[in-house]
Amino acid sequence: MIKRFVLAVALIGVFAWSGVVQAGFGISPPYVKPKKAVFPGSHYEQKITLLRSEADSAMTAVITVTAPEMSGWVTVDKGFEFDMPAGELQVPMVVKVDVPAKAEIGNYKGNFNIRIVPKGASKNPGVAIALGARVDMDIDVTNERFFDFAVRMTTIPDIGVLSQPWNWKIFSYFFYRIAVVLKIENIGNVAAGPTKVHLDVYDVEDKKMLESYDDTKIEKIDPFVTKDVTADFPTKLGKGYYWGRITVYNGNDIVHKDKITFEIKDHGKLSGYKHWLMLAGLILLVLLLGLSLVKVRVWKYIFMIVYVLLWPLRIIGRLLLGIKNKAVEGFWDKMGQKAEKYKSGTRRKR
């Protein structure tokens, strides 16, 4: 009787666990394979998403790597055992491959298995039924360089007109700029990115070109990484709507073109602290310059230089003053003569 009861409980447990797990499980993509061969000593990452059709209960993913040729190369950002919370149908993980610097040139293959079990069953497997999937790994190691990238998206964020003192030229050149944000995927095996980004800005009717810029100092991205980089340009444009025509270069080749509208608004605000550091630096520079002049006692030399430079002006000033004085004296002499004539005429009449 007791044996039958235990067996019944066991069967109920099996069906209960299987009802949770057999709802459906998959992965995307089912492989780890760089688009280009990698260098010895390089790092490669690939995201793999674990998919299940139902997420009523928490599960645990258990990963087992079978890759004798790549022993110690492969890790997972979440570890080789991690939870899949209830309510989440998709759980991403990142597979990281670190190729040793002394790895030999050639092709390396392997795989790892992912199985999901009810949470807690990995330590106490008992009668739990697990579903699984296999991820194949295929990695070529080479000493040949591949410089290549793809532009996945471009945007031009809106900016605002700056107020004083940030609209002064010394500040606006650095902080009042149009930015082109590029989402770049490095599909080569060396650090890569656009060699030049060209931007033409047109009026709101897209008829008249107002400004044109080039930026060649663009951040390079590590191999097999997708990242946002920025090309920015100083501008003198005021408030309004504009069209930006973007051209992205890889060497002399055009790899991407786009046309985007953006707005320059009133009352722009600067974020961060770089502008304050620059202002503080300028004030400090002026103070240090003043102190250095005092210490080396060059003020008298400055006054001598100013005196010499103003010497011609002093001579001209004296000449003008002499002319003025003579003119005044002549005026009063004539006035005196007229007064004498007037007096003598009056006496004769009497």
Confidence of residue 261 (pLDDT cuts 50, 70, 90): very high
Supply the pLDDT for residue 288.
Answer: 72
Supply the pLDDT for residue 11.
Answer: 36
Per-residue pLDDT, averaged over 100-110, amounts to 92
Per-residue pLDDT, averaged over 289-297, amounts to 66
8 or 191, which is more confident: 191
Residue 19 pLDDT greater than 60, yes or no: no
User: What span, in angstroms and rounded, lies between the C-alpha atoms of 97 and 75?
Assistant: 7
Confidence of residue 224 (pLDDT cuts 50, 70, 90): confident
Per-residue pLDDT, averaged over 217-239, amounts to 89
Question: Among 144-148, 170-174, 212-216, 315-319, which stretch is predicted with the lowest mean pLDDT?
Answer: 170-174
Supply the pLDDT for residue 187.
Answer: 86
Confidence of residue 336 (pLDDT cuts 50, 70, 90): confident
- pTM (predicted TM-score): 0.58
199 or 4, which is more confident: 199
CATH architecture of 2-141: Sandwich (2.60)
User: What span, in angstroms and rounded, lies between the C-alpha atoms of 196 and 350?
Assistant: 103
CA quadruple 66, 70, 71, 74: dihedral, nearest 10:
-80
% of the chain beyond a pLDDT of 70: 76
Summarize pLDDT for 123-181 with one digit per residue, the tens. Answer: 555 545 567 889 999 999 998 888 889 999 999 998 877 767 766 676 666 667 888 99
Residue 3 pLDDT greater than 50, yes or no: no
Cα–Cα distances (Å) from 316 to 16, 307, 321, in that order, read 110, 14, 9
Residue range(s) in the chain whose domain bears CATH number 2.60.40.10: 2-141, 149-271
User: Using H for helix, E for strand and C for coil, what is the string for the chain?
Assistant: CHHHHHHHHHHHHHHHHHHHHCCCEEEECCEECCCCCECCCCEEEEEEEEEECCCCCCEEEEEEEECHHHCCCEEECCCCEEEECCCCCEEEEEEEEECCCCCCCEEEEEEEEEEEEECCCCCCCCCCCCEEEEEEEEEEECCCCCCCEEEEEEECCCEECCCCCCCCHHHHHHHCEEEEEEEEEECCCCCECCCEEEEEEECCCCCCEEEEEEECCCCCECCCCEEEEEEEEECCCCCEEEEEEEEEEECCEEEEEEEEEEEEECCCCCCCCHHHHHHHHHHHHHHHHHHHHHHCCCHHHHHHHHHHHHHHHHHHHHHHHHHHHHHHHHHHHHHHHHHHHHHHHHHHHC
Supply the pLDDT for residue 316.
Answer: 79
Per-residue pLDDT, averaged over 298-312, amounts to 70
305 or 264, which is more confident: 264
Supply the pLDDT for residue 123.
Answer: 59
CATH of domain 149-271: 2.60.40.10
Supply the pLDDT for residue 122.
Answer: 60
Residue 4 pLDDT greater than 50, yes or no: no
Summarize pLDDT for 22-63 with one digit per residue, the tens. Answer: 458 889 999 999 888 888 888 888 999 999 888 888 889 999
Residue 269 pLDDT greater than 80, yes or no: no
Supply the pLDDT for residue 90.
Answer: 93
Instruction: Tell me the pLDDT of the chain averaged across its residues.
Output: 80
